[in-house]
Structure 1
Amino acid sequence: MPQHREPTLADVAERAGVSLTTVSRVLNNRGYLSEATRERVAKAIEELRYRPNQVARALHGKSTQSVGVIVPTVSLPFFGELSAEIEDALAVHGYRTLICNSLGRRDRERDYLDLLVSHRVDGIISGAHNEDLSEYQTIHMPLVTVDRDLSPTVPNVRCANEEGARAATEHLLTRGARRPALLTSRTGAHNRREAGYRAVLEEASIEPYVLTVDFHTPDQQRARMVREGLDAVRGEVDAVFATDDLSAADAVEWAHERGLAVPGEFKVVGFDGTAALRRALPGLTTVQQPIRAIARVAVDLLLGQIEAMSDDGEVPHPAHPVIELPGTLLQGRTT
């Protein structure tokens, strides 16, 4: 067999000395075949390193046993850990994972959606942050999101963001903060962590201060923007609730650079509580998201949709589209 191409089903059949139909029956575990025949085919597959064409299988109505996962970037600790947990949960059920990094770009997310659909993955889990992509409305396959509102008919698994933000903000006030600022990526109605922060300050009759630094700002520029934003209100705010741990780390670094004692003069609470940040900044007070549980619930929901799909490809609509799992406030040395 030529070495410049992938082996085919015919190559396997020739090597094993059986028909194409027999190889197909072995691969699909259908019909009676002797153990000796199965072993010959298995040996041929191993020797040739044959890999079934998943797209061809999909075109014949068969599962590709693959799922696409779209995230902003696995270089961010939360999404890296989430992707690993999703991949692990899918592997338990025999599924392969195609992880796509959108890098915050709408065009890139569209391209990945087209790629996943054209390769006939069995379903998609999306945790990207681009809003209002109409392409999702045309996808007729199992779909679950993580912390992303796409549609009332698409399950959304997330941490109880507003509840966690309330706990973080109340903790700052309990520890003596008089006016905590919010450091977040985007402000608006979709930001439930902002909603929790604002609700607590309103109850305490404290004027909120919201500093936004876009989610996808390059690291050096991000740190500079955080420094400039906090410099502008130095003396007016004495604490920060950051809606992610990387921003919280920037706030802690700013306080140290300005000679402010943490937590004596300045307090910081983050959000996420990933293993990577806990190792890098073990003293950070943060709201830890239940990442493993989020991943497993998302996978269970997706596999449930895959199993429940009708013969005409109709995806079942969930009874409860939003599933919130509680976070845990981990008190450290920054409060």
Structure 2
Amino acid sequence: MVVRREPTLADVAEVAGVSLTTVSRVLNNRGYLSQETKDRVARAIAQLNYRPNQVARALHGKSTNIIGVIVPTVALPFFGEVAAEIENALAAHQYRMLVCNSMGRADREREYLDLLVSHRVDGIISGAHNENLREYQTVRMPLVTIDRDLSPSIPNIRCANEAAARDATRLLLDRGARRPALLTSRTGPHNRREAGYRSVLEQAGIEPVIFTVDFHTPDAERARMIDAHLDGAADVIDAVFATDDLSAAAVLDWAQRHGRRVPQDFKVIGFDGTSAVRRALPGLATVRQPIAELARTAVEVLLAQIRAQSEGEQEAAPVDSPIELPGLLLTGTTT
């Protein structure tokens, strides 16, 4: 049986007929070397399809040009599109991306964080949803988050959630809703979309109705929980503001199964506005997050940290965090 393996630096040296030290000097562009020697090493590298060991480069204090990105899962439209836009933004600066799907598990996120730090990636962008992971406080490499409050010292790039939620809730009231409910993942002061919903209802003198289904709930159980919430309040509410589009889609399904005409009898608005959901449900009213701008801004802030570190500075110029970018209200046909 032939055991296949990746070529090593020693293999390159043997094919080129030079020493290991010479190959290392060519790769790192150190010292004087004749063009003939450089060409021989280059031909050997091409012949063997040799790939430099990025971990070894990092251990020698060199950039790997790799950024780690932690998300719940790219199977979700929002995070899939965020990851794609981050990859595009990084490619423009000759960086590559290593994507880690935490699948909503804190233990897996810890493992991935340890993996990225130990492999000396140049920086990390985190968009996972596990709260209170103390491990982030020990990270000493460039780090930014997307829509996640980890620490006042860690830049957070996000949609202007509270303002966008106010717009979404006002739209429901303007279109005739008298008792709109909020369907969200977790309730509390950290939830700025909930804050926007509550502020509009308080101004209108309407009592809030809030349903929670945790973000990481398995799909089948999630659908049952949403149905149970809506069944229990069917005689009370006439609209739902869901803080993500997939939940809004589940609400639309419930309304159809229960004979509620949308938007005449029942109004629905979501949040995210991803291309995937817009194609599947083109009429869904929603707030479109500025996904490309969020990704580009996160990359710009992270690269500023990387440049500062490479220039020997303690830290990059401080940024006002969170950095909020406006969402776009799409009125659709469901309100």
Alignment TM-score, normalising by the size of structure 1: 0.96
In structure 1, distance between residues paired with 2:313 and 2:137: 15
* Paired residue total: 334
Give secondary structure in 2 for the equivalent of 1:284. Answer: coil
- One-letter identity of the residue aligned with 1:88: N
**Kept in 2: contact 1:141–1:315 (CA 8 A):** no
- Aligned: 1:264 with 2:264: yes
Instruction: Find the counterpart in structure 2 of residue 13 from structure 1.
Output: 13
Q: Deviation digits for residues 187-234 of structure 1, max 9, x if unmatched?
A: 111100000000000000000000001101111111111111011111
In structure 1, distance between residues paired with 2:317 and 2:112: 24
Instruction: Find the counterpart in structure 1 of residue 276 from structure 2.
Output: 276
- Aligned: 1:67 with 2:67: yes
Instruction: Find the counterpart in structure 1 of residue 242 from structure 2.
Output: 242
Question: Displacement, 1:313?
Answer: 7.8
Which has the higher mean CA deviation after the structures are superposed, 287-296 or 220-229? 220-229
Question: Displacement, 1:112?
Answer: 0.6
Instruction: Find the counterpart in structure 2 of residue 83 from structure 1.
Output: 83
Give secondary structure in 2 for the equivalent of 1:272. Answer: coil
Which has the higher mean CA deviation after the structures are superposed, 259-268 or 6-15? 6-15
Question: Displacement, 1:23?
Answer: 2.4
CA distance 1:112–1:313, shift in 2 (3 Å):
farther
- One-letter identity of the residue aligned with 1:95: Y
Give secondary structure in 2 for the equivalent of 1:309. Answer: helix
- One-letter identity of the residue aligned with 1:274: T
Percent of aligned pairs with the same amino acid? 71
In structure 2, distance between residues paired with 1:206 and 1:176: 13
**Kept in 2: contact 1:223–1:250 (CA 8 A):** yes
Instruction: Find the counterpart in structure 2 of residue 171 from structure 1.
Output: 171
Which has the higher mean CA deviation after the structures are superposed, 30-39 or 162-171? 30-39
Instruction: Find the counterpart in structure 2 of residue 210 from structure 1.
Output: 210
In structure 2, distance between residues paired with 1:308 and 1:21: 31
Which has the higher mean CA deviation after the structures are superposed, 27-36 or 93-102? 27-36
Question: Displacement, 1:170?
Answer: 0.4
Alignment TM-score, normalising by the size of structure 2: 0.96
Matches of residues 78-227 of structure 1 in structure 2 within 5 Å?
78-227=78-227
- One-letter identity of the residue aligned with 1:216: H
C-alpha RMSD of matched pairs (Å): 1.6
Instruction: Find the counterpart in structure 2 of residue 330 from structure 1.
Output: 330
**Kept in 2: contact 1:71–1:99 (CA 8 A):** yes
Which has the higher mean CA deviation after the structures are superposed, 309-318 or 233-242? 309-318
Question: Displacement, 1:42?
Answer: 2.3
In structure 2, distance between residues paired with 1:45 and 1:200: 64
Q: Deviation digits for residues 3-58 of structure 1, max 9, x if unmatched?
A: 53321112112212233333223323445545544333222112212111111111
